[in-house]
């Protein structure tokens, strides 16, 4: 399919992280000619040295799994995934817990867990061989200017400066998006003054495909089953996190053991620890003059919620559907009408996830008798109601709007 006359590409994407790669594949699947600009070197990316492709464990919910199936990628991803069949939510030192179980909910699984580096490498390989995607890497966007019919994109590669024209520019360049800053779009940032410690943990007892969410007065903690270990995401106040990061493995393990208890027996091994500052970013107006923000450039949520990638995937699905409709009716895919329709469909979902993450980061750290009692009663109510559990499953699984 040839692009519009005098247009080199239908869509240019800046940023070859997980969202940028997935968007390129999804839109190229609708016969759009896509140009992807990535600052990293291909050799380093394939060696898992891209900042987005690390040892973090990511949750793939049921709606995202359908997306990967539609891209014909699920068969490649599944061997590297671990199914989550149960989720146990509890409060440290308090009564009340919730147990989600696939059998009780009558589903095949609750979610899957995969390493970011495995997902990134698989997407990268697919992008490199797709006939409708041109990949420039390493390449750095230097300038862009929008007109009535197109956007002129200028970038530099190791050899020389280059430029081309596209109908639409997608900014998937992360939470510190340079494109967003250049556009001057209002950005609302909330700093939680907290740090997430991420590591792989091995325990004395097997996880049996159960994920754990532990609510403490210092913040939430998640343990995600992955092969023979668990992926830890531990939210802590900045100062406390820095103190723990300075400890040796033995002392750190002792502190972690005290926080998670002995439901899985003793911690037998702790992997390399990484730290991520926790904050949220919300951009009310996510497009301007043929440029649209995607993924963390438009909305950044805490990794403790395990919703960041899934929210990004849902955004790609909506954008693909909106562009597919525009192409069918011969509309300009970069005009404000098309982009405002995408934003109209996406923002309620984004706001719901941002609010959920906010509640998780703030409400559960309040240590007051009344609040503790209300939390416990809430957990017990959800634990005793299959109907409430199904609602939570559909919301967390991204399935609620698929049948609405």
The gap between the terminal CA atoms of the chain, to the nearest Å, is 34
Give the structural domain span for 177. 9-79+115-188+280-362
* Number of domains the chain contains: 1
Residue 377 has what pLDDT?
41
Using CA atoms in the order 94, 374, 198, 41, what is the torsion angle rounded to 10 degrees? 170
List, run by run, the mean pLDDT of 10-residue segments along the chain (404 residues): 64 97 98 95 71 80 94 96 91 65 87 93 94 95 95 90 96 96 96 93 96 82 93 93 95 93 93 92 97 97 83 97 96 97 95 83 54 44 54 60 45
* 3-state DSSP helix/strand/coil % of the chain, to nearest 5: 40, 30, 30
Whether residue 34 lies inside any domain: the answer is: yes
Query: Is residue 247 one of the residues assigned to a domain?
Result: no
The whole-number pLDDT of residue 314 equals 95
Among residues 402, 397, 404, 403, the alpha carbon closest in space to that of 107 is found at 397
Domain membership flag for residue 125: yes
User: Is 261 within a domain?
Assistant: no
Residue 124 lies in a domain: yes
The reported pLDDT for the residue numbered 360 is 73
> Residue 309: inside a domain, yes or no?
yes
Q: What is the pLDDT of residue 193?
A: 92
Instruction: Report the chain's C-alpha Rg in angstroms.
Output: 22
Domain assignment present for 197 = no
pLDDT the model gives residue 376: 44
What is the pTM assigned to this prediction?
0.90
The CATH number assigned to the domain holding 120 equals: 3.50.50.60
Q: Whole-angstrom Cα distance, residue 373 to residue 250?
A: 35
pLDDT for position 56: 86
> What is the pLDDT at residue 357?
81
Residue 51 falls within a domain, yes or no? yes
The first and second tokens of residue 385, run together, are 């109601």
What are φ and ψ of residue 348, in 5° steps? -60, -40
């Amino acid at each position: 399919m040839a692009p519009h006359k005098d247009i080199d590409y239908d869509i240019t994407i800046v940023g070859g992280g997980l969202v940028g790669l997935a968007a390129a594949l999804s839109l190229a699947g609708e016969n759009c000619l896509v140009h992807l600009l990535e600052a990293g070197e291909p050799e380093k990316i394939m060696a898992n040295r891209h900042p987005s492709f690390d040892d973090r464990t990511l949750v793939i919910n049921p709606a995202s799994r359908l997306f990967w199936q539609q891209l014909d990628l699920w068969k490649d991803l599944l061997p590297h995934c671990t199914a989550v069949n149960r989720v146990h939510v509890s409060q440290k030192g308090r009564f009340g817990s919730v147990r989600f179980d696939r059998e009780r909910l009558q589903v095949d699984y609750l979610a899957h867990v995969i390493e970011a580096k495995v997902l990134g490498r698989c997407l990268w390989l697919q992008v490199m061989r797709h006939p409708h995607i041109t990949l420039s890497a390493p390449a750095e966007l230097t300038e862009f200017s929008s007109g009535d019919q197109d956007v002129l994109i200028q970038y530099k590669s190791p050899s020389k400066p280059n430029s081309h024209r596209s109908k639409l520019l997608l900014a998937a360049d992360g939470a510190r998006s340079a494109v967003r800053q250049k556009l001057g779009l209002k950005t609302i940032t909330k700093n939680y003054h907290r740090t997430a410690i991420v590591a792989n943990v091995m325990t004395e007892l097997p996880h049996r495909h159960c994920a754990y969410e532990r609510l403490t007065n210092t913040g939430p903690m998640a343990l995600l089953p992955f092969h023979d270990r668990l992926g830890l995401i531990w939210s802590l106040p900045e100062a406390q996190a820095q103190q723990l990061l300075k400890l040796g493995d033995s002392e750190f393990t002792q502190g972690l053991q005290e926080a998670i208890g002995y439901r899985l027996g003793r911690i037998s091994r702790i992997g390399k620890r990484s730290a991520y500052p926790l904050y949220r970013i919300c951009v009310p107006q996510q497009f301007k003059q043929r440029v649209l923000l995607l993924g963390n450039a438009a909305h950044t949520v805490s990794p403790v919620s395990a919703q960041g990638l899934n929210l990004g995937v849902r955004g790609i699905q909506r954008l693909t559907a909106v562009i597919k409709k525009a192409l069918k009716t011969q509309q300009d895919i970069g005009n404000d009408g098309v982009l405002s329709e995408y934003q109209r469909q996406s923002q309620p979902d984004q706001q719901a996830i941002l609010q959920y993450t906010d509640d998780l980061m703030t409400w559960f750290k309040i240590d007051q008798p009344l609040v503790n009692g209300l939390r416990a009663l809430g957990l017990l109510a959800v634990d005793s109601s299959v109907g409430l559990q199904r609602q939570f499953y559909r919301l967390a699984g991204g399935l609620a709007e698929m049948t609405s």
